């Protein structure tokens, strides 16, 4: 049985920031459908520049790339994105040290391949349960992985916003491409988001919203609205895919 999908992307500045450094995209490429969420950093418009470059470089690469294994496609796309950002940052002083997180998902014939750099996340919602599929490249996640910090302590750690990897900060990026794809089934939902969502809402709150009998567009809007009602301390971006 063929599986199709409905999707929606949305982004909001939030209630505490004056500009939105997030960028989100849904693109049909020769290699399948692609969703991306990027959370830029750098100040003075550099963050949004880095996020925009990451998406544009990825789309450009996938539009010209030969037929390759999907995992290799994602890895090379992230390297291309890193090079594009790093090159501009070296040429223009106002963009020095700009960078961006990135999470991407590529859908091909029932399979979702995914990759990420930084702390933008991918979740799978299935049968009423929410599963985080990516692990943040962050300082607190490193401490958690070493058994030095609990999940509860991480929520209040003073360095919880420090990330250890991002695109554009060096000439040698460290993207993480999932070794196995997700076999999707009707009823599954895939959520890509910047940390402006998951730092404001718990997994239980996100799952409750995804479980509502709403259109995928309304669910995306409700997620952003809920994050803003919880404080909206950062830019908030989501890409939501519902398989049918």
What pTM was estimated for this model as a whole? 0.94
Please name the residues in contact with 241: beta carbons below 8 A apart, sequence gap of 6 or more. 5, 6, 7, 35, 105, 107, 189, 190, 191, 216
Please tell me the predicted confidence (pLDDT) of residue 113.
98
pLDDT at position 161, please?
A: 75
pLDDT at position 141, please? 80
Report the alpha-carbon distance of residue 221 to residue 83 in Å, rounded.
33
The CATH class of the 5-243 domain is alpha beta
In this prediction, residue 1 carries a pLDDT of: 60
Count of C-beta atoms within a 10 Å radius of residue 5: 17
Nearest to 12 by CA among 227, 162, 174, 209: 227
Quick one: pLDDT at residue 152? 67
Please name the helix (run of DSSP H) or strand (run of DSSP E) that holds residue 82, with its range, or none. Answer: helix 70-91
> Which pLDDT score, from 0 to 100, does residue 198 have?
95
CA angle (158 as vertex; 156, 160 as ends), nearest 5: 75
Report the C-alpha gap between 118 and 50 in whole angstroms.
14
Domain coordinates in residue numbering, the chain: 5-243
Token couple for 38: 């990027």
Q: Is 151 helix (H, G, I), strand (E, B) or coil?
A: helix
User: From CA 97, how far away is CA 213, in angstroms rounded?
Assistant: 43
Regions of the chain short of the pLDDT cut 50: none
Long-range contacts of 155-158 (CB under 8 A, 24+ apart): none
């Amino acid at each position: 049985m063929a599986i199709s999908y409905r999707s929606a992307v949305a982004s909001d500045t939030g209630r505490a920031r004056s500009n939105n450094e997030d960028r989100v995209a849904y693109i049909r490429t020769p290699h399948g459908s692609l969703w991306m969420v990027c959370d830029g950093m750098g100040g003075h418009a550099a963050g949004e520049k880095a996020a925009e470059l990451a998406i544009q470089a990825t789309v450009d690469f996938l539009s010209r790339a030969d037929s390759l294994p999907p995992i290799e496609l994602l890895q090379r796309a992230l390297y291309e994105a890193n090079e594009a950002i790093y090159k501009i940052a070296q040429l223009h002083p106002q963009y020095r040290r700009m960078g961006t997180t990135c999470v991407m998902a590529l859908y091909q014939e029932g399979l979702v391949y995914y990759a990420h750099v930084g702390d933008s996340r991918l979740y799978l919602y299935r049968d009423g349960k929410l599963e985080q599929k990516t692990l943040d490249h962050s300082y607190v996640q490193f401490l958690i992985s070493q058994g030095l910090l609990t999940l509860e302590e991480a929520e209040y750690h003073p360095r919880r916003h420090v990330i250890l990897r991002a695109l554009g900060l060096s000439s040698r990026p460290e993207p993480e491409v999932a070794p196995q794809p997700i076999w999707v089934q009707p009823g599954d939902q895939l959520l890509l988001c910047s940390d402006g969502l998951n730092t404001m809402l718990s997994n239980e709150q996100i799952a409750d919203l995804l479980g509502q009998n709403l259109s995928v567009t309304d669910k995306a809007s409700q997620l952003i609205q809920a994050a803003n009602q919880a404080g909206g301390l950062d830019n908030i971006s989501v890409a939501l895919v519902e398989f049918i």
